[in-house]
């Protein structure tokens, strides 16, 4: 769960914006006031760390202690934003990278299964009922338990397979192979 999602019902974000405005921390005020997603969460974490508390306990910190913490974070804000942007770029690069080395079967099974499962769920929930309603046919539905089991097996192969490959790679590195 993100920091902001955890604080969604809390008045602490508004309090931090108000204090930032009072002490002249324009950048902190800007990022927190606009609810700038992950950047705001990073700034809130930095304020909590500077104040010496955990994020959920920020509302217990007196205002006279939060002001100096916010001013200290104001100086770090450009670096925090740059670090957050680098993190997002690295995440995007990782998500977009597809390892397509070697024979097609070594990498194509993942998108093939994803499309196949997407088709099966769409067929079960959308296409089959529409065809039955439009034609009066009685096409039998695939069992939801079977669909869940098939999807679970795919997830185990995908996530468990990657974990297994990483473990084998680390074992080989440790052996010096």
Residue ending a domain, among 69, 96, 123, is 96
Q: What is residue 44's predicted lDDT score, i.e. its pLDDT?
A: 87
Residue ending a domain, among 47, 75, 96, is 96
Residues 135 and 162 occupy one common structural domain: yes
- pTM for this prediction: 0.50
- How many structural domains does the chain have? 2
Retrieve residue 29's tokens: 């005020």
Retrieve residue 26's tokens: 């324009």
Residues 7 and 92 occupy one common structural domain: yes
Residues 130 and 159 occupy one common structural domain: yes
Whole-number Å distance between alpha carbons of 15 and 23? 12
Residues 77 and 112 occupy one common structural domain: no
If you search the block for the tokens 């104001």, which residue do you land on? 74
Domain interval for residue 66: 3-96
Residues 56 and 92 occupy one common structural domain: yes
With residues binned 3-state (H G I as helix, E B as strand, rest as coil), the percentages for the chain, rounded to 5, are 80, 0, 20
Residues 119 and 59 occupy one common structural domain: no
Residues 76 and 115 occupy one common structural domain: no
| Positions of the chain with pLDDT lower than 50, given as ranges | 1, 5, 8-9
Residues 82 and 151 occupy one common structural domain: no
Q: What is residue 177's predicted lDDT score, i.e. its pLDDT?
A: 60
Q: What is residue 103's predicted lDDT score, i.e. its pLDDT?
A: 81
Residues 82 and 122 occupy one common structural domain: no
Residue ending a domain, among 72, 96, 120, is 96
Residues 49 and 88 occupy one common structural domain: yes
For 60-101, what is each residue's pLDDT tens digit? 888 888 889 988 988 888 888 888 888 888 888 776 766 667
Residues 150 and 80 occupy one common structural domain: no
Residues 29 and 84 occupy one common structural domain: yes
């Amino acid at each position: 769960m993100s920091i902001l999602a955890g604080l969604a019902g809390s008045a602490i974000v508004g309090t931090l914006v108000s204090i930032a405005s009072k002490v002249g921390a324009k950048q902190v005020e800007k990022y927190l006031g606009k609810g700038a997603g992950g950047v705001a969460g990073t700034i809130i974490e930095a304020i909590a760390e500077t104040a010496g508390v955990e994020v959920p306990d920020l509302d217990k910190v007196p205002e006279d202690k939060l002001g100096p913490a916010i001013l200290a974070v104001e100086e770090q804000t450009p670096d925090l934003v740059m670090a957050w942007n680098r993190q997002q770029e690295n995440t995007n690069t990782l998500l977009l990278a597809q390892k397509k080395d070697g024979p097609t079967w070594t990498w194509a099974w993942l998108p093939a299964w994803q499309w196949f499962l997407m088709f099966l769920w769409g067929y079960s929930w959308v296409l089959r009922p529409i065809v039955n309603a439009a034609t009066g046919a009685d096409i039998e539905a695939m069992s939801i338990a079977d669909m869940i089991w098939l999807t679970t097996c795919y997830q185990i192969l995908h996530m468990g397979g990657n974990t297994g490959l990483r473990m084998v790679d680390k074992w080989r590195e440790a052996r010096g192979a």
